[in-house]
């Protein structure tokens, strides 16, 4: 097939899907083995949309490609769906999400040390919304759950990867970052000394989850 036909097919796939499509997936669908070539055509298609100033855009998100509306036209979409229930994140949930996004593999106790308040509710909300998830357990006493962001987080915030997050230094003052590091250091210093063997059924403290 020629380039024009390929771009029309890719445009159709990106329009109809509700999940980002990787170049590898598109390559298989189109029976084209050259993934690099597919990526080049996707970049060209994206450039065409941008150059023509279309209301829709093609963007890299969550490791794949997707078609979406441009942010400047969001107000009209909100007017269209104004009668529908919109679930918004509370300030507390946004705070927790920011901590998890920039820190990654962070425990509930560490989140609460940074915020200074209980964060059980916001964490549950973010898990329910599939924005954060359990990414393992920290190898410390009690083996608390560690949280990280999900692909859904990347999609919701229009990010291709975590590398697209802004530099933390540009958002938060040096003093604030130092304060956070101090709180985390104090948290670690106040934890009991871990024995050589971790006891699996140890009773967790108030700041440690048991599941």
Give a yes or no: residue 155 inside a domain: yes
Decide which of 98 and 141 is more confident. 98
| Residue 210 lies inside a defined structural domain of this protein | no
How many C-beta atoms surround the C-beta of residue 43 within 10 A?
A: 14
**Predicted pLDDT at 7:** 93
The pLDDT of residue 134 is above 90: yes
Domain count for the chain, please give it: 2
- Average pLDDT of 136-145? 87
In which domain, by residue range, is 74 found? 3-78
42 & 124 share domain: no
Q: What pLDDT is stored for residue 1 in this prediction?
A: 81
Q: What is the CATH number of the domain that holds 60?
A: 1.10.10.10
Give the chain's mean pLDDT: 82
The reply to whether 66 and 125 lie within a common domain is no
User: In Å, what is the CA distance from 159 to each residue of 59, 62, 101, 114?
Assistant: 9, 6, 12, 25
| Cβ atoms 40, 81 nearer than 8 A | no
User: Which of the residue ranges 116-130, 152-166, 196-210 has the most confident prediction, judged by mean pLDDT?
Assistant: 116-130
197 versus 72: the higher-pLDDT residue is 72
* Same domain flag for 53 and 32: yes
At 7-47, the pLDDT tens digits run 999 999 999 988 899 999 999 999 999 999 999 999 999 99
142/170 same-domain check? yes
* In the block, residue with structure tokens 């997707």: 66
Residue whose pair of structure tokens reads 């997050």 in the numeric block: 165
Co-location of 97 and 186 in the same domain: yes
At residue 127, does pLDDT exceed 90? yes
Residues 173 and 111 reside in one and the same domain: yes
Asked whether residue 130 carries a pLDDT value surpassing 80, the answer given is yes
* The predicted structure's pLDDT at residue 192: 55
The H or E element containing residue 6 is helix 3-16
The count of other CB atoms within 10 Å of the CB of residue 108 is 19
- 35: CB partners within 8 A, 6+ apart: 23, 24, 27
Q: How far is CA 156 from CA 33, 119, 153, in A?
A: 30, 22, 5
Check: pTM over 0.75? Answer yes or no: no
44, 133: one domain? no
């Amino acid at each position: 097939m020629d380039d024009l036909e390929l771009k029309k097919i890719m445009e159709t796939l990106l329009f109809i899907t509700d999940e980002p499509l990787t170049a590898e997936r598109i390559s298989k669908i189109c029976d084209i083995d050259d993934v690099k070539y597919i990526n080049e055509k996707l970049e060209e298609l994206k450039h065409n949309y941008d150059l023509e100033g279309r209301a829709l855009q093609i963007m890299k998100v969550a490791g794949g490609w997707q078609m979406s509306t441009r942010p400047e036209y969001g107000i009209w979409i909100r007017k269209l769906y104004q009668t529908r229930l919109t679930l918004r994140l509370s300030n507390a949930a946004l705070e927790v999400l920011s901590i998890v996004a920039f820190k990654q593999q962070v425990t509930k106790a560490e989140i609460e040390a940074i915020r200074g308040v209980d964060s059980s509710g916001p964490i549950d909300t973010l898990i329910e919304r599939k924005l954060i998830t359990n990414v393992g357990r920290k190898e410390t006493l009690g083996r608390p759950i560690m949280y990280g962001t999900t692909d859904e987080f990347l999609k919701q915030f229009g990010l291709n990867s975590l590398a697209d997050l802004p530099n933390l230094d540009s958002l938060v003052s040096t003093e604030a970052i130092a304060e956070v590091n101090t709180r985390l250091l104090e948290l670690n210093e106040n934890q009991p000394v871990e024995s050589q063997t971790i006891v699996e059924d140890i009773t967790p403290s108030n700041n440690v989850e048991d599941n």
